Amino acid sequence: MKNLGQMLKQAQQMQQKMADMQQALDAIEVEGRSGGGLVVVRLSAKGDLRDVKIDPSLLKADEGEILEDLIKAAHADAREKAQERSQEEMKKVTGGLNLPEGMQLPF
């Protein structure tokens, strides 16, 4: 029974670390850029959109489609960076434990 008590204690500690990590991810911001910096998108490391900046030179009536593509590209860039930061934070919590592809904690 001593081992069971120790396992429960470790599970509670892991749960607290996960909650702390979720708060940290919400505070971390990453920036995605496209068009040589003409479009900038900021996301939290959790993937929440925080800000979009568009250079005024792109605000022309005949360039709407270009602007749409640049926003999508900047968002994809920021999302990739957010995922990388999230994985870095997860490694801190799990002590570098390699989880199978696509497996997320908490289960």
Domain ranges of the chain: 22-88
CATH fold of 22-88? Ybab; Chain: A; (3.30.1310)
**Alpha-carbon distances of 103 from 58, 88, 107, rounded to whole Å:** 40, 15, 8
Q: Tell me how far apart the alpha carbons of residues 74 and 31 are, in angstroms, rounded to a whole number.
A: 8
pTM: 0.64
Query: Tens place of pLDDT for every residue, the chain, 107 residues?
Result: 578 888 888 878 888 888 888 888 888 899 999 999 999 999 988 888 899 999 998 888 888 888 889 999 999 999 999 888 888 888 887 776 665 555 555 43
